[in-house]
Structure 1
């Protein structure tokens, strides 16, 4: 590994010390030039994939995520004859996941955890009604497959995935399905598309905050990079609905938090998510 300058050497040896040194020399500024409560540039590309029902690509700085929505015909569960299914899968870059065995297992666990969190948010926010996935009661339903492929992970995956999901859903079109009266088999008409109906009044979006301890005080870093996530005392995730109602608050183990600090971080999250909504509706 080549080390070009002293700053890169310091980051390689002790990332925490690098951040402390930088904050001593630059008041309220992070090493990438942003203020503590400033997010990276956000780029949104709609209808990114040709052969999916809905798709999007989102870039938060160097973090790049593709969301793809597809569907398969399935038989409904006997417990609910009118309800379809939803599956979510998050995949990190293979080059990152297969570096060493220990790191590989950790990333696999992170993938599973993030996939489950996203599925829980879809259910809890009632973003998608499972009965809207019914084609014919007791016979055929849609199994909705939502895949998140991370092309580059530089932190803040949670925010990126949820924004990508909302953008993709807004441009999702399903083929028309009719049941053959003779054979009772489904006939799929790929040229007759209809817009997928979901609950646009919910629109859950996430704000990730890295809590960093500096001079016995907590600094709250909005839209953290991967480096900032690695040195954080803890990570906070605030998921808010369209009316600013809290859908989820998740905190990793670490620094203890008072109610006042949770309220303070909520105000940061609300302002940040308001900006995400502006981007989403452009």
Structure 2
């Protein structure tokens, strides 16, 4: 009878669990799900990583292409992320053009990377006004079960750390360029932003790392990005208010989690460098 009750009355079903201080998956309200990470998952890409947060799985592949810088930013290259949410990851998504949720998630991910300043776009420029690198970061959600941005940030940052760009000889007079595949360099990732997602249920219960169903019945979601043990950004797209004490608690828990995930990324990179 439990499964039909969950389907027919999801809010009541979850509320009865929350009032007992436990969630249907066995976690307490203030517990995050385990994170699994693998660096260098796609050999044909210039950089890649696989991240799994609970049952949400994201594969990130980065492809580098040479391009011309924008006139207004003539000394900068590009990092263009794109999140794909296909029917493969969840039946809530339909085939066709990118869904609104995918577009919003992509823009939020781009904003997080930009505000964290983890990668200096000038480092991607080879010759001002003439030649620069454009990094296309495709993030394919394989399994969708909440906290999508958390998994995407982890996958993208790790993938960026695995990127190896070939050296390029460029003659501005003739426009000729020679790509030296045998000589490659790493990107200088100066910081590691980590995102943690929370949701507010009935304006009084804060759920850490919510699942998709928990997000769907909550009155709002909250994304907190930590960089170098400091707040980088907070994203709350409307919804129910959150009191100061709950917000401060979420920030402190985000800092603790960011340290753990940074250690996980470091271990994944050590494994990647030895293979």
Same fold (TM over 0.5): yes
Q: Distance in 2 between matches of 1:145 and 1:174?
A: 13
- Structure 2 unpaired stretches of 5+: 268-275
Secondary structure of residue in 2 paired with 1:94:
coil
Partner of 2:9 in structure 1?
14
Would you say how many aligned residue pairs link Structure 1 and Structure 2? 267
Q: Distance in 1 between matches of 2:180 and 2:243?
A: 56
Superposition pairs of residues 71-90 of structure 1, within 5 angstroms: 71-90=64-83
Among residues 217, 221, 244, which one is paired with 1:235 in the alignment? 221
TM-score (norm 1): 0.87
Q: Distance in 2 between matches of 1:76 and 1:172?
A: 20
Partner of 1:50 in structure 2?
43
Q: Distance in 2 between matches of 1:236 and 1:182?
A: 51
1:247 aligns with 2:242: no
1:10-56 CA-partner distances (Å, limit 9, x unpaired)? 111011111123345xx321110111121222111110011111100
Say if 1:267 and 1:198 are closer, same or farther in 2 by CA, change over 3 A: closer
Once the 2 structures are TM-superposed, how far is the Cα of residue 258 of structure 1 from its aligned partner?
A: 3.0
Among residues 117, 123, 127, which one is paired with 1:132 in the alignment? 123
2:196–2:224 CA contact under 8 A, matched in 1: yes
Say if 1:249 and 1:187 are closer, same or farther in 2 by CA, change over 3 A: same
Secondary structure of residue in 2 paired with 1:114:
helix
Q: CA RMSD in A?
A: 2.2
Q: Distance in 2 between matches of 1:175 and 1:127?
A: 21
Among residues 17, 24, 29, which one is paired with 2:22 in the alignment? 29
1:71–1:144 CA contact under 8 A, matched in 2: yes
Q: Distance in 1 between matches of 2:18 and 2:83?
A: 34
1:165-222 CA-partner distances (Å, limit 9, x unpaired)? 12112211111211257742222222322112232xx211101011123xxx722211
Say if 1:96 and 1:170 are closer, same or farther in 2 by CA, change over 3 A: closer
- Structure 1 unpaired stretches of 5+: 1-5
Say if 1:95 and 1:57 are closer, same or farther in 2 by CA, change over 3 A: closer
Q: Which structure 1 residue ranges, 4+ long, deviate > 6 Å from structure 2?
A: none
1:62 aligns with 2:50: no
Residues 123-132 or 217-226, more deviating: 217-226
1:264 aligns with 2:230: no
1:167 aligns with 2:158: yes
Partner of 1:92 in structure 2?
85
Secondary structure of residue in 2 paired with 1:191:
strand
Q: Distance in 1 between matches of 2:12 and 2:159?
A: 40
1:55–1:171 CA contact under 8 A, matched in 2: yes
Partner of 1:210 in structure 2?
199
1:71–1:142 CA contact under 8 A, matched in 2: yes
Once the 2 structures are TM-superposed, how far is the Cα of residue 97 of structure 1 from its aligned partner?
A: 7.2
Say if 1:73 and 1:124 are closer, same or farther in 2 by CA, change over 3 A: same
Partner of 1:3 in structure 2?
none
TM-score (norm 2): 0.89
1:197 aligns with 2:188: yes
1:49-106 CA-partner distances (Å, limit 9, x unpaired)? 11111100011121110111111111112223211122110001234677677x988x
